[in-house]
Structure 1
Amino acid sequence: MYAIVDIETTGGHASANGITEIAICIHNGKKVIERYETLVNPQRDIPIYIRALTGISNEMVSDAPLFKDVAHDIYHLLHGKIFVAHNVNFDHSFVRHHLASVGYDLQCNKLCTVRLGRKILPGLPSYSLGKLCHHLGIENGNRHRAGGDAEATAKLFTLLLQSDKENHIIKALKQNSKEQVLPPNLPKADIEKLPMLPGVYYFHDEKGKVIYVGKAKNIKKRVCSHFTGNNTGQQRQEFMRNIHHITFQECGTELIAFVLEAVEIKRLWPKYNRSLKRFEQSYALYDYIDQRGYVRLAVDKHHKFQLPVYTCNTLFEGYSLLNKLIDTFELCPKLCFIQKNNAECIGAHKENCACTGSMSPDEYNQRVTLAIESLNEALPTFAIRDEGRNADEHSCILIEKGRFYGMGYVSHHFKVDDMQQLKQHLTAYPGNDYIRNIVTGYASKFPERKVMFA
Structure 2
Amino acid sequence: MYAIVDIETTGGYASAGSITEIAIFIHDGHQIVQQFETLVNPHRPIPRYIQALTGITDEMVENAPAFEDVAEEVYNLLQNNIFIAHNVNFDYSFLRHQLDACGYKLQNKKLCTVRLSRKIFPGFPSYSLGNLCRSLRINLVNRHRATGDALATVQLFERLLSADANGAIATALNARSKEKWLPLHLPQEQVADLPSCPGVYYFHNEKGKVVYVGKAKNIRKRVTSHFTGNNASRQRQEFVRNIHSISFEKTGTELMAFILESIEIRRLWPIYNNAQKRIESKYGFYMFEDQQGYLRLAIEKRRKYTTPVFSFNMLTEGHQRLRELVREFKLCPKLCFLQTSQDTCTGVTEKTCKGACEKKEKPAKYNLRVQAAVAHLLAEQPSFMIVDAGREATEQSCILMEKGKFYGMGYVPRDVPVSETEALKDWLTQYPENEFILNLLRQYAGSNAARLISL
Query: What is the TM-score when the length of structure 2 is the normalising length?
Result: 0.66
Which shifted more, 277-286 or 302-311? 277-286
Distance 1:254 1:342 in 2: 54
Does the aligned pair in 1 maintain the 2:89–2:181 contact within 8 Å? no
Percent pairwise identity: 44
Q: Which 5+ residue runs of structure 1 have no aligned equivalent?
A: 5-26, 33-75, 84-108, 119-126, 134-139, 151-159
- State the partner residue of 2:227: 227
CA apart distance, 1:77: 11
Inter-CA distance 336–169: structure 2 relative to 1 (3 Å threshold)? farther
Deviation digits for residues 245-269 of structure 1 (CA, Å, limit 9, x no counterpart): 1011111110111111111112212
1:81: which partner in 2?
A: 81
1:329 and 1:390 mapped to 2: Cα distance? 50
How far off is 1:114 after superposition?
6.2
Partner residue in 2 for 1:316: 316
In structure 2, the residue matched to 1:200 is 200
State how 1:13-92 maps to structure 2 within 5 Å.
29-30=35-36, 80-83=80-83
Residue aligning to 1:387: 389
Once the 2 structures are TM-superposed, how far is the Cα of residue 146 of structure 1 from its aligned partner?
A: 3.0
Residue 415 (structure 1) aligned to one of 410, 414, 417: 417
From 91, 98, 101, the equivalent of 1:116 is 91
Deviations 1:372-406 (A, max 9, x none): 10111011111100011122111111111111111
Answering whether residue 322 of structure 2 is matched by residue 304 of structure 1, we say no
Distance 1:384 1:169 in 2: 57
Structure 1 residue 180 displacement after superposition: 2.1
Q: In structure 2, how many angstroms separate the alpha carbons of the residues matched to 1:232 and 1:364? A: 66
Q: How much does 1:289 deviate?
A: 1.4
* Residue pairs, 1:97-136, within 5 angstroms: 115-116=90-91
Match of 2:451 among 440, 444, 449: 449
TM-aligned CA distance change 1:351 to 1:320, over 3 Å: closer
Alignment gaps of 5+ in structure 2: 5-25, 27-33, 39-75, 107-142, 161-168
Question: What are the equivalent positions in structure 2 for 1:7-406 lying under 5 Å apart?
Answer: 29-30=35-36, 80-83=80-83, 115-116=90-91, 144=101, 146-147=103-104, 163-167=146-150, 170=154, 176-177=172-173, 178=177, 179-278=179-278, 280=280, 282-347=282-347, 348-349=350-351, 352-406=354-408
How many residue pairs match? The answer is 337
Maintained 8 Å contact 1:187/1:245: yes
Deviations 1:333-364 (A, max 9, x none): 11111112111111144785211111221122
Task: State the AA in 1 paired with 2:149.
Answer: E
Task: Indicate conservation of the 8 Å contact 2:330/2:353, yes or no.
Answer: no
More displaced stretch, 246-255 vs 263-272: 263-272
Task: Confirm or deny: 8 A CA contact 2:411 2:428 kept in the other structure.
Answer: yes
Which stretch shifts more, 252-261 or 347-356?
A: 347-356
Amino acid at match of 1:363: K
Moved more, 233-242 or 401-410: 233-242
More displaced 10-residue stretch of structure 1: 392-401 or 163-172: 163-172
What letter is aligned with 2:357?
Answer: C
Structure 1 window deviating more from structure 2 (315-324 vs 437-446): it is 437-446
Farther off after superposition, 368-377 or 164-173? 164-173
User: Does the C-alpha gap of structure 1 residues 235 and 169 become closer, same or farther in structure 2, counting only changes over 3 Å?
Assistant: farther
8 Å contact from structure 1 (residues 211, 271) kept in 2 = yes
Change (3 A) 1:325 1:145: farther
Give how far 1:2 is off.
7.1
Contact 1:128–1:232 under 8 Å retained in 2 = no
Alpha carbons 1:399, 1:405 under 8 Å: kept: yes
**1:162 positional shift:** 7.2
Offset at 1:321? 1.3
User: Aligned to 1:275, what secondary structure does the other structure show?
Assistant: coil
Cα distance between partner residues in 2 of 1:276 and 1:297: 30
Residue 280 of structure 1 aligns to a residue in which SS?
coil
1:284-316 CA-partner distances (Å, limit 9, x unpaired) = 111111121111111111111111111111111
AA paired with 1:221?
K
Query: Residues 299 and 164 from structure 1, CA distance in 2 versus in 1: closer, same or farther, beyond 3 angstroms?
Result: farther
- Which of 411, 436, 442 does residue 434 from structure 1 map onto? 436
Q: State the AA in 1 paired with 2:103.
A: A
SS at match of 1:30: strand
Change (3 A) 1:188 1:445: same
Instruction: Give the distance between the partners of 1:393 and 1:370, measured in 2 at CA.
Output: 40
CA distance in 2 between counterparts of 1:406 and 1:287 reads 25
Query: What is the one-letter code of the residue matched to 1:387?
Result: A
The aligned amino acid for 2:369 is R
Whether the 8 Å contact between 2:181 and 2:228 is mirrored in structure 1 is yes
Partner Cα separation in structure 2 for residue 351 and residue 420 of structure 1: 39
- 2:216·2:257 contact (CA, 8 Å) conserved in 1? yes
SS across alignment from 1:180: helix
Report how far residue 433 of structure 1 moved: 2.7
Q: CA 1:78–1:392 in structure 2 vs 1: closer, same or farther (change >3 Å)?
A: farther
Deviations 1:100-157 (A, max 9, x none): xxxxxxxxx6898761389xxxxxxxx7988xx7xxxxxx9xx75634x87xxxxxxx
1:30–1:128: structure 2 CA closer, same or farther, 3 Å change rule?
closer
